Structures are given as structure tokens and as C-alpha cells.
Amino acid sequence: MSGPWLTELPDDSEQLGPYVSSLRRGALQAAELSAVRSFSDGFLLRFLRARDFDVELSLKLLLNYQRWRKESPEISCCLSPSSVLGLLNSSYHAVLPQRDHTGSRVLIYRIGQWSPKDWSAFQVFRVSLMTSEIISVETETQRRGLKVIFDLQGWSLGHALQITPSLARKISSVLADSFPLKVRGIHVVNEPVFFRPVFAMIRPFLPEKIRQRIHMHGAHFHDTLSDYFSPPVLPPEYGGEGLGIEEACQDWTNQLLRSEKLLHQIASHPTGDVAITAEDCLISEDVEPDQLSEG
């Protein structure tokens, strides 16, 4: 019997064996994966935890992940942090060091730091994929998922013109059902009126569950973000008491650069199923006991 309780079990639990075997069997029988010989247990567990061990939904997610990689090589085949170092050094993106009260990872994207003259939307989207690949390795993130804050301060027509319907579909696909991560919340701050047409282009591709988890906070986000995140989690710039946003961005940039070899292996592997060593898992998995409540 599947269920969220299974996500709490360690990778080597005997109770997980039948689910892993069932997913592996389904994957290897799929026509589109006929050339694949095997999948590792750890890789399959990412998809199982992302769908609370519902094997049918996990298989759909795994197949979507493989399909997406094949259909979007312009994005998925170049997961190199050093290739977008200028963008990363502009304090564009951070994964905050502390999880929220539910144990979710918290990601921040500062759109105004992205210069559309210097960086294409494809390159910017690759940053999201690199982060997604790294944090999906974390057992705690597999269990608790992630929440994202998009800061649209500085959003311009130049940004809007980069988001084509085709790219909007790809972004929506990853958010919805093509990556082994649970999206627990999407928070948009400082959104201008002319962002709405772009959001209207993305929204139809998102499942209802994701739509219900999107929150628009506007310019007065300091008053409302605190309803979702406790002060120690967020940077002071976002009304919290945590690490400053510039330092948080630099710390995550350093993490991505340390993961360059691993990301290259994932991008060049036919299925993305590469062996993860202890050296690859550089991110702290420490979670406070009171962070384990579901949200």
C-alpha cells in the first residue's frame, strides 16, 4: 500500500524493495526505454518519493523526465555552472541554507539580476535545472519538496520577449510533472502588471494542484511572506532574519561550481542515472525536529 509514510523510510528499508522492483520492471518494459539495461535503486527512489510511492504515478514521472531530456537537448545537455558564471555571480539565484518549518528547501530567483542582453532564457532556465538535479539527490528534499520565491523586481519587456510559448511550455512541464521534486509552493513578489501576460501563457499548462500553490504578494511582500516562512529562514531583504541574499547567492554559486563534474555526468548520461558519491553530497541534511510537520 503506497502512501506518504513510506517516504520516511531509509533507502535500505526492506519495505521499499517491492516498490523499487515494480518501478524498475515498469520502466524497463516501456517501449521508449527499450535501450536501457537497468536503473539504480537510488535513482528510482527519487521518483517514488516524489509521488509518495504510487508506482503508476512514479513511472509516469520517470518517463516524462526521460522524454523531456530527449526533447529539450538545448537545455538539458549543458548543465555547466561555469558556463553561466557571470549570471550566477550577479546574485541571481540562491538555495537558502535553512529549510522552512515543513522541511522544504527554499529557492529564490531574482529576475532583475538577469540581463536579457547578456543571457538567454535557455541559459537562465539551465540554472533551475542544475539546482533541481542537485537538490533532488537529497533524501530530505525528496521527502519534503521545495518552495520557490520569484522576485520580479526589475522585470522588463526584454525579459518578457525571451519567454516564448515554446519555452513557457517547457518551464511548465518541469514544474508540473517532469522532474522528481514536489513543488510545495510558488511565491511571486514585486510582480508588475505587465508580468500577467507571461504568467497567463504559463498557467494553462500547470495542473490545478500547482495553480493552487501559487501566491502573488506584490510590492508589500514583507507583510505576507511571513505567513508562509518563519523569520530565521528568509534573508533580511525578504523580511527575515537569515543569511543576507548576496551571501546566500554566493554560497549556492559555490555549491553549483563544486558540483560541476557531477552535473556534467548527469547531462551526458543517457538517463541521468549516475552514481552519487559522498563527495557529491556536500549540502547539509540537518533538519530540526520541529521542521518535520507536513505543510
- Segment 175-186, tens digit of pLDDT: 678 899 999 999
Q: Is 53 left (phi over 0), alpha (psi -120 to 50) or beta?
A: left
Could you tell me if residue 39 is inside a domain?
yes
Cell readout for 250 is 554566493
Report whether 48 contacts 72 (CB < 8 A): no
Q: How confident is the model at residue 281 (pLDDT cuts 50, 70, 90)?
A: low
Could you tell me if residue 288 is inside a domain?
no
Q: Check residues 24 and 156 and name the one with the higher pLDDT.
A: 24
Residues 97 and 46 in one domain: no
- Segment 202-211, tens digit of pLDDT: 788 788 888 8
Residues 62 and 103 in one domain: no
Q: How confident is the model at residue 135 (pLDDT cuts 50, 70, 90)?
A: very high
| Domain enclosing residue 54, as ranges | 4-71
Q: How confident is the model at residue 287 (pLDDT cuts 50, 70, 90)?
A: very low
Number of domains in the chain: 2
| Domain termination site, one of 13, 44, 71 | 71
Could you tell me if residue 209 is inside a domain?
yes
Residues 93 and 222 in one domain: yes
CATH of residue 237: 3.40.525.10
- Segment 96-126, tens digit of pLDDT: 999 999 999 999 999 999 999 999 988 998 9
Q: How confident is the model at residue 295 (pLDDT cuts 50, 70, 90)?
A: very low
Report the pLDDT value the prediction gives residue 162, as an integer from 0 to 100: 86
Report the pLDDT value the prediction gives residue 267, as an integer from 0 to 100: 94
Residues 87 and 46 in one domain: no
Long-range contacts of 50-53 (CB under 8 A, 24+ apart): 50/142, 50/180, 50/181, 50/182, 52/2, 52/3, 52/4, 52/6, 52/7, 53/2, 53/3, 53/6, 53/7, 53/16, 53/19
**Amino acid (1-letter code) at residue 23:** L
Residues 130 and 90 in one domain: yes
Could you tell me if residue 241 is inside a domain?
yes
Q: Where are the alpha helices (DSSP H) in 109-164?
A: 121-135, 139-144, 157-162
